[in-house]
Structure 1
Amino acid sequence: MTLIVSSHILSELDEYCTHILSIRDGRIESHEALQNAHGPGQPAAVGQQPQLYALEVAMEQSEGLEARLRQALLSTSVQDFDTTGRRPIQLWLPAAANARAQWLAQLVQAGIPVAALYPVRERLQDRYARTAQARDTESQEQA
């Protein structure tokens, strides 16, 4: 089923949608799945796009933990970073399990107290905002 909606009601549709199709000036701008193409426990396809994960860190009151964490995440695309530890850090990680395992091992070796790492579904509103931001950045680069 296809629905054409205004961006202000995206949060209401989030539970029902599986894909997002963006149209701008009468042209298809993007068409993407909102959740992983593979189910839990199934291997990711080679070359698949990074997936959104939540990283929970035991934000203890140790000296320099936040600085070490920021340093460890420099090469990772972070979507949401909460230094209070009340919300998980949302970040984009490789779809391949072995690449994620290697990344996680490096984080632990850097002394980061990892409490949990799990996949999360990107909200429709966040996907729309990310697509719009990428479009605006591309327009500015072309100017």
Structure 2
Amino acid sequence: MIRVEHLIFDYPGHRALDDVSFEIAPRTITALVGPNGAGKSTLMRVCSGLERPFAGRVRLQDIDVHESPREAHQRMGYLPDFFGLYDDMTVRQCLEYRAAAQGVSKQNQCDAVDRAADRMQLTDRLNQRAGELSRGLRQRLAIAQATIHNPSFVMLDEPASGLDPEARIGLAGALKTLCAEGMTIIVSSHILAELDDYSTHILMIRDGRIVQHGPLSTLEGRIDDPATISIELAAPDARLAEILAAVPGIVVQQVDDRHATLSTGGGAATRQALLKGLVEAGLPVIDFTAEKLRLQDAYLARMRAADGEPRGGKSG
């Protein structure tokens, strides 16, 4: 979908992007994460064609973004961290204006407005002025404007900034809808718990270089933190502690006759063997839950690991 090749971008006295390369697969939602000043917003601006790199190139499908920016912009949508709306215009007028600006034909503008409003659940607000909308609805309107021309690739910089929990849930649902319709999305955010709800991939950046890139499942597999497992029995059984103590590769954190919490670094094979052993011993297991590694935990663990690597880390 989009291929970034050896990007270098400098501000006076500071290298914001340092030999950045990656490729984003179609129909995915990539979480772009990193500390403040890592280069996330600069990367988005370069990928959108708003900044020209000192070296390297960005290709969207078969288009060089910086050599053919107008053609590229017809296939992409971009929402910066700070965006403006025409507060005196209605939601419908805002969408009609953006549709015209994006080159949507006159005869197709009405359908484009209705489709964008439906995606972002703004249909009942079409006749309301943008200046009267809540922060969450303004954010939805901005995303609707960025996607009204049905782009194949969308970049959103901090779209959940300032939103309340209910609005963030609505945003997550909207992004899933866009992805289901075939759009490829990059979302930059500091709210890692929110990204966990809808992201399929992660792109970690620090000091202008890629630290990690790949599916979330792959990232979790590369983190050495042990999985936490919770076990519950239907009825008390005094053998639970004894059986767990005899299983290699696990560390029992808490156990009584009916419940246990333990950790294991042995992966799926160890968990499978453990569950099989409990069932074969006749224990009435009603719950065996391996806690999913949260994106925030994976991010912190990978950043700590990167502190011990040569500058530049690794990508995958």
Normalised TM-score (structure 1): 0.50
- Find 1:75's aligned residue among 232, 240, 249: 249
In 2 relative to 1, CA 130–17 (structure 1 residues): closer, same or farther, beyond 3 Å?
same
Of 25-34 and 53-62, deviating more is 53-62
Residue deviations 1:32-68 (CA, integer Å, cap 9, x gap): 32248xxxxxxxxxxxx48967442439584882x76
- Find 2:300's aligned residue among 129, 137, 141: 129
Aligned amino acid, residue 24 of structure 1:
R
Give the whole-Å Cα distance in 1 for the aligned partners of 2:305 and 2:281.
32
Aligned amino acid, residue 34 of structure 1:
L
Pairing 1:6-25 to 2, within 5 Å after superposition = 6=190, 9-25=191-207
Give the whole-Å Cα distance in 1 for the aligned partners of 2:260 and 2:274.
21
Q: Calculate the aligned-residue CA RMSD, in Å.
A: 4.4
Structure 1: 5+ residue runs without aligned partners? 37-48
Give the whole-Å Cα distance in 1 for the aligned partners of 2:303 and 2:253.
21
1:32 aligns with 2:203: no
Residue deviations 1:53-91 (CA, integer Å, cap 9, x gap): 7442439584882x763552x525x7x955577786565
Give the whole-Å Cα distance in 1 for the aligned partners of 2:204 and 2:288.
30
Pairing 1:1-143 to 2, within 5 Å after superposition = 1-6=185-190, 9-35=191-217, 49=221, 54-58=229-233, 60=236, 62=238, 65=241, 69=244, 72=247, 74-76=248-250, 81=253, 83=255, 89=262, 91=264, 93-95=266-268, 101-106=272-277, 114-118=285-289, 121-136=292-307, 138=308
CA contact (8 A) 2:254 2:262 kept: yes
**CA offset at residue 134 of structure 1?**
2.7
Name which structure has the greater RCO, CA cutoff 8 Å, separation 6+. Answer: 1
In 2 relative to 1, CA 12–101 (structure 1 residues): closer, same or farther, beyond 3 Å?
closer
Residue deviations 1:91-111 (CA, integer Å, cap 9, x gap): 555456xx7544433456789
Name the one with the larger helix percent.
2
Identity level (%): 31
**CA offset at residue 126 of structure 1?**
1.9
Give the whole-Å Cα distance in 2 for the aligned partners of 1:105 and 1:55.
15
Structure 2: 5+ residue runs without aligned partners? 1-184, 310-316
Normalised TM-score (structure 2): 0.28
Q: Choose 1 or 2 for highest CA Rg.
A: 2
In 2 relative to 1, CA 87–15 (structure 1 residues): closer, same or farther, beyond 3 Å?
farther
Partner SS for 1:2: strand
Give the whole-Å Cα distance in 1 for the aligned partners of 2:239 and 2:232.
15
Aligned amino acid, residue 56 of structure 1:
I
Give the whole-Å Cα distance in 1 for the aligned partners of 2:294 and 2:301.
11
**CA offset at residue 10 of structure 1?**
0.8
CA contact (8 A) 1:55 1:118 kept: yes
Give the whole-Å Cα distance in 2 for the aligned partners of 1:2 and 1:75.
38
